[in-house]
Every structure is written in structure tokens, then in C-alpha cells.
Chains A and B, each alone.
Chain A
């Protein structure tokens, strides 16, 4: 509230000057993509995973990338730049189960939120990016996008590579359940969640072909080659579109 010398009173929602159009646009995007959209998807019954989804160059199948957003952005950027993949949804990824021939299949759905990346990483990836807020190190980068729901063919768990750990390896046994379980988002993004439901979802996710990629920076060419060989071998090319 401002009182001028003549006694006039002006009430403003803003402390001094109203924000610029750009700032308002950034706030709207933050509200939409950073809060409203995930909540809306959760309340409409989508399964949200701590993951992103990318569509293979063939356009027929999705690879779910599970992990923290920092590592996901590296993998997405490199798959899109080097391998012809398309981003379907950045973290969190919305999915649904669809019955086909009596068997539940996992289908990934698109989000319109941009791919977010740290400024430093975007520069390392030679990506042009636009800052999403005034005081931040996050930029939105342009990558090829897919916009249609598509069947999930495999699950790749991403994280920091620990000393002595393999950069790429298949997951077996309980590792698959652990990896699937870690990708579940709970709380307000899983209304009506229960231990039984979590177990069922974890078991279904663990049935997917599953591997782990450890990152220390980018993905080395030989590691990318092994990743793509695995993708070919798990039937990614044959998975059908479920539009």
C-alpha cells in the first residue's frame, strides 16, 4: 500500500513495481509445469514416476529413464543429439497400464513441460537454453519432441557412477525390484496409494527389461553403443504404438 503526499492511497499486490511480462510468463510456466501439471496428472489417475520417457528413433517404443532430474537431462540430451530419440516427458513421467490381449502393458504419455537442465551442463552439451527464472541455474533446452502416447519397452535406471561400479549393466533379481521401487513417487502424487498397490506396480515395472547406467559426466561413445545394443536386444524396435 503506497500513500502519496496528497493523501492518495494506492494498493498494489507488488512491493514496488509490477513484474515485467517476462517475469510473469516465467511465473506462469513455473506454476503450470512445476506444480499444476504433475498434480493434475496424479489426480486424473496417471502413474507418475521419478523418471523421464524417450521415444526410440523408430517411433514405436519408449525407454523409461528413471533417476534424478540432473542425470536424466544428460541422458535425454545425449540420446536426442546422438541417437535420434525424441523426448516424450521430462521428470516426472506420466504412465498408464493398458490391457492388451489380457496382459497389462505400460504406456507412456506426453508432457508439454520443456526439458530442464543445469546451465553448466547445457553448456557442456552445447545446448542453447533459456533461463526459467530470474535467479536460477536452470535453463529450458530445445530437444526433438514426441507428442503421442507410446508403449514402454524397457526401463533404464540412471545415477551417479560409484567408484568401482560398472558404467552399464543389466539388472537382475532383487535389484530390479529395488530399482522399480525407487522410481515410485508417493505423497500427493499418489493419491490413494497403498502398500499393496505399490507392490503390484513395483512387480509389474520389475518385469520390464531393465538395466542401469552410471554417469560421471556424459555418456562415453562405447557405453552409448552398449546401451543401444541392449535396447535392440530387448525388443524395443518391435514394440507397437498404442495411439
Chain B
């Protein structure tokens, strides 16, 4: 059980209680701009024995839609394959990549923003035989849109439309050595990973809870997926991945994973900025579309917060997440 699950829905709770899958890959799953890179930075710090930390040397950043690894692994140039063969190649590469070391086998962490989809074992996008578990990082969709707009150099309204209805899927491209990549809408994304029929455990953590207490939230989750570590090491890793350090590292040496359209990857890392930055009609547009999933994940709608304030005028509009508030600024 994760530290934050107390405030999350039963659907989320059940998803974390399945037995571990047979593989060694732990998928770090999130909708874009939800803290995936930050969590990777913490885990990279935890797994690394290097005293120095560089934002350009984070592990787990190779997303599964990239199939360029077929050249060294199989001697196969993916540019000569058609799109259906590319999907099959993706599954093969993931299955081949998951041979871990150690006893018990150390988990291999890999990032993805895609929606979950199953299917034929020959071309499963997230092969069950390679997968051990999932860590699903979720973030308030009202908060995501600011970062999303900045990263893709689009307006906030366009970002709201993308998060609300789902941006077009990135098409399969042998030329770019990529399979199709579909994010879906914010709700569709979370729904797909929290579905009852997934064959491996899914540990949902909220960005806002991580922001409040990253060590407290991650410690039980990392233990549950089979990573052996000491609390002191995790504390140190969380400290090394402090947001202001990531921002400073990017300012000094750039960040290879940033968008060509964006001047920076790491913004403020704050929570609750949407309350002052997002227009009321855009808040409504998000809440109208995602109310159900926001409820499941413990994000209160503005109307509920207003009712709370009307019934008790002394109540400030504090964040609704478990234990989270605006005091924490890392």
C-alpha cells in the first residue's frame, strides 16, 4: 500500500494489490508533464553510486516506442520494416531488454506516457511477460496544462483541449524508428492503467503527495516493486533531485529531453498554480470532462471547494490532496 492511497479510491487501492508480474520492468507511467522525470531523477540517484548528479544522465528515459535499439540488439535496421512489423519489433525488444541481474532481480525502470493497451502477446505494447509492476504518477489536470502549454509552445486553451480530448496519436514511423504512441485524454490515460483486468500491480502516486513528502510516498512503492534500498539513501536521492537543483542543472548544461520548442523543461515544480493562472472557463472545461476520474484520484472540483467555503467562510481554499499544501516548495 502506498502512503497516499488512503485518500485515493478503492479502484486505485485494488490495482496495487495484484501479484507482481514475471518480468523485471517497472513502468514509470504518467500523463506528460506529471512529474515522471522528477521521479526518474530520484530513482536514478538511488541506483547510482556516483556522487555527482547530472540531469542529462537519468536512467529509464528510453521510451518503449523507440525501436532504434534493434540495430545493436538484433542487427536489424527498423527503417526497412513496415508499420505492423514495427509493432512486433517493439514487443520483441522489450522482452529482450528485461533480463535483469541480481537475486532478487533488480527492477528495470522505464518511462512511458502512453495509454495502456493489451492484445496479442506477439505485439503487446507492454508485454506482460516482461513486466513486473507499474508506478502510475498522476497530477491534477488543472495543473498539468500550464506545463503542457509551455513545453509544446501552445496556448493554455490548446493545452486544455489536448488534455481534455487527447492529442492526436503519434503515428508509427519506420523513418523515425518509432511505433505509434497514444496518450489519450487525461482521464482515458488514468482509466487505462487502473482498469480491473491489468495483469500486474499498478501503484498510483499523486504528484501533489510527492511534492509534500517524496520519501514517504515512494519508499513503500519502491519496496513493493522489489527495489532494495536504505531509507538514508532514498533521503539522499530525494535531496539530490530537489527541484531547484534540477532547474539549476538544466540552466547550466541544458537538458537533452526537452522539447525543441521550449526554452526549459523544468518550470516551478509547484502545485496549486492553476488557481491563479487558469481562467475559470478553462477550469470548468477540464472539470466537466474529467470529474469522474478526478474524484477517483482525490482531486476536488472547484464547485465542491466553493461549497465548502460557503458553508464555512473561515476555510481557506487549501489543496484537497492528502497532506498537501502550499507550504512545501521543493
The answer to whether B72 and A163 have CB atoms under 8 Å apart is: no
A residues in contact with B73, CB < 8 Å: 187-188
Q: Which of A119, A161, A190 is B260 in contact with, Cβ under 8 Å?
A: A161
The answer to whether B77 and A35 have CB atoms under 8 Å apart is: yes
**CB-CB contacts below 8 Å: A131-186 with B:** 132-138, 160-165, 185-186
The answer to whether B174 and A188 have CB atoms under 8 Å apart is: no
Known: A68-B68, A70-B175. A162 touches B260 (CB 8 A): yes
Answer whether residue B270 sits at the interface, using C-beta atoms and an 8 A cutoff.
Answer: no
Answer whether residue B76 sits at the interface, using C-beta atoms and an 8 A cutoff.
Answer: yes
Known: A163-B262, A185-B71, A186-B72. A116 touches B84 (CB 8 A): no
The answer to whether B75 and A42 have CB atoms under 8 Å apart is: yes
The answer to whether A138 and B174 have CB atoms under 8 Å apart is: yes
A59–B230 Cα distance when bound, in Å, is 60
Q: How far is the CB of B79 from chain A (nearest CB, A)?
A: 5
Q: Which of A92, A118, A134, A190 is B176 in contact with, Cβ under 8 Å?
A: A118
Q: How far is the CB of A173 from chain B (nearest CB, A)?
A: 14
Q: Which of A33, A121, A137, A161 is B80 in contact with, Cβ under 8 Å?
A: A33
Q: How far is the CB of B65 from chain A (nearest CB, A)?
A: 15
The answer to whether B174 and A160 have CB atoms under 8 Å apart is: no
Answer whether residue B81 sits at the interface, using C-beta atoms and an 8 A cutoff.
Answer: yes
Known: A137-B173, A162-B260. A132 touches B75 (CB 8 A): no
Q: How far is the CB of A105 from chain B (nearest CB, A)?
A: 26
Q: Which of B68, B175, B256, B264 is A137 in contact with, Cβ under 8 Å?
A: B175
A59–B309 Cα distance when bound, in Å, is 79
The answer to whether B258 and A163 have CB atoms under 8 Å apart is: yes
A68–B78 Cα distance when bound, in Å, is 12
**CB-CB contacts below 8 Å: A106-138 with B:** 116-121, 132-138
The answer to whether B83 and A39 have CB atoms under 8 Å apart is: no
A54–B76 Cα distance when bound, in Å, is 22
The answer to whether B260 and A34 have CB atoms under 8 Å apart is: no
A39–B74 Cα distance when bound, in Å, is 9
B residues in contact with A120, CB < 8 Å: 175
Answer whether residue B254 sits at the interface, using C-beta atoms and an 8 A cutoff.
Answer: yes
A residues in contact with B262, CB < 8 Å: 163
The answer to whether B83 and A138 have CB atoms under 8 Å apart is: no
The answer to whether A188 and B80 have CB atoms under 8 Å apart is: no
Interface centre among B71, B72, B173, B258 (most CB of A within 10 A): B71
Q: Which of A35, A133, A216 is B75 in contact with, Cβ under 8 Å?
A: A35
A residues in contact with B258, CB < 8 Å: 162-163
A residues in contact with B80, CB < 8 Å: 29-30, 33-35, 116, 132-133, 138
Q: Which of A34, A118, A160, A187 is B72 in contact with, Cβ under 8 Å?
A: A187
Q: Which of B71, B83, B255 is A136 in contact with, Cβ under 8 Å?
A: B83
Chain A 78-115 interface mask (CB, 8 Å, partner B; 1/0): 00000000000001100000000000000000000000
The answer to whether A163 and B260 have CB atoms under 8 Å apart is: yes
The answer to whether A162 and B79 have CB atoms under 8 Å apart is: no
A114–B324 Cα distance when bound, in Å, is 58
The answer to whether A135 and B83 have CB atoms under 8 Å apart is: yes
Answer whether residue A69 sits at the interface, using C-beta atoms and an 8 A cutoff.
Answer: yes
Q: Which of A38, A116, A164, A190 is B263 in contact with, Cβ under 8 Å?
A: A164
Known: A34-B79, A134-B82, A135-B84. A116 touches B175 (CB 8 A): yes
Chain A 29-64 interface mask (CB, 8 Å, partner B; 1/0): 110011100110010000000100000000000000
Can you list 20 A-B contacts (CB < 8 A)?
Answer: A29-B80, A30-B80, A34-B77, A35-B77, A50-B71, A68-B177, A116-B79, A117-B175, A118-B173, A133-B174, A136-B83, A136-B174, A136-B175, A137-B174, A138-B80, A160-B260, A163-B260, A164-B263, A187-B75, A189-B75
Seed contacts A68-B68, A118-B175; 9 additional CB < 8 Å A-B pairs: A35-B76, A116-B80, A136-B83, A137-B173, A163-B258, A163-B260, A164-B263, A187-B73, A189-B72
